Amino acid sequence: MEYTIMMTRKYMKPVLAAIALTLVAGITPAAFSEEPIPTELNFSEAERYEGSWLVTLDFNGNEMSFNLDVVDIKGKVGATLDSKMMSEPQAVETITQGPDGLDFKFTLNLGGNEMTMHLVTKESAGGLKGTLSEQSGLFSGEITGRKATKEDFVQGRRGAPTEARLRLPDNKKVRVTFGNLNQASADFKALQDVEVGTVFKFTGSRATKLITETSLNFDGSIIKTNNVADNYPGVYSLWLKKTDAGWSLVFNEQPDIWGTQHKAEFDVAEVALTTKTTNETAKRFVIKLEETTDGGQLKMAWGNTQWSTPFSLSQ
């Protein structure tokens, strides 16, 4: 395989390693969520690519593989990328047809810097052949692909975060994914010293993430669906914030980021949390979703502290 790296040799190896780790391990994919989203391209133009593929990048002699799923969404093309080390599949944001085949465009977040990636591929001898490149020319490598088998699927084998789930009375689902960090972690120690007015940031996990199939009402704050794409669940990152009165929960419209990458300009709501100290000790950070008569309750616990807030279905 051939590679083109527009950098000096001194920095080539670490940058390549970082890109590979981000792609294959999925450190901070800047995608919306685990479901594919419809793009502008008609499915009839990409029908021959439909299905699940195992795509392999030969990286300095080391093969790195990930899954590419191409689907029909009401006549439009949608796709996801996935690997067993990613916490969830990554939705491809844009798919176009060009002279070199289908161009799957998606975004990665590398240390707070977003990188636009292109997976360009066409059919070749019953499989796929093409390139994976960074848009500015920083990185370009050749890929091959074949139809995925049952053994290639990463569902059930991924290093996913812990997840809380709730099915609401309208049959819509609410999910929260979170890092199940232990009480001996540096993050737990840092939590004890958070200053008033400051959002607590996890250094050891991705940001806590809310995915809801229906709009929710948290104490008058409406957490909407379709906030990132039409006909798509609401997806938000959740943040604990220390206040004069105790703690609040902040909703942010950057859902797929690391736990240190909070940006206040993307905050859309903040609700007060009921906070109490208990005799029970949660040795790991945990979140639960519990059903109530008019909606649900979001509960968090770590150490001897518990936080909670009710929510209802938005009318």
Same domain for 106 and 134, yes or no, is yes
Same domain for 166 and 285, yes or no, is yes
Confidence of residue 276 (pLDDT cuts 50, 70, 90): very high
Residues 6+ apart with CB under 8 A from 134: 19, 115, 116, 117, 118, 140
Which range is least confidently modeled, 81-90, 198-207, 219-228, 252-261?
81-90
Confidence of residue 12 (pLDDT cuts 50, 70, 90): very low
Same domain for 193 and 299, yes or no, is yes
pLDDT tens digits, one per residue of 124-139: 888 999 999 888 887 7
Last residue of a domain, one of 152, 186, 214: 152
Mean predicted confidence (pLDDT) in 141-164: 75
Last residue of a domain, one of 115, 132, 152: 152
Q: Average pLDDT over the chain, rounded to whole?
A: 83
Which neighbouring-strand residues pair with 269?
251
pLDDT tens digits, one per residue of 62-109: 677 888 999 999 999 999 888 765 656 778 889 999 999 999 998 775
Residue 48, domain CATH: 2.40.128
Q: Is the model's pLDDT at 15 over the cut of 50?
A: no
Mean predicted confidence (pLDDT) in 218-224: 96
Same domain for 83 and 199, yes or no, is no
Confidence of residue 3 (pLDDT cuts 50, 70, 90): very low
Model pLDDT, residue 205: 83
Q: Is the model's pLDDT at 29 over the cut of 70?
A: no
Same domain for 17 and 146, yes or no, is yes
pLDDT tens digits, one per residue of 158-194: 554 578 999 887 788 999 999 888 888 899 999 999 9
What is the reported pTM?
0.58
Domain around 237: 162-313
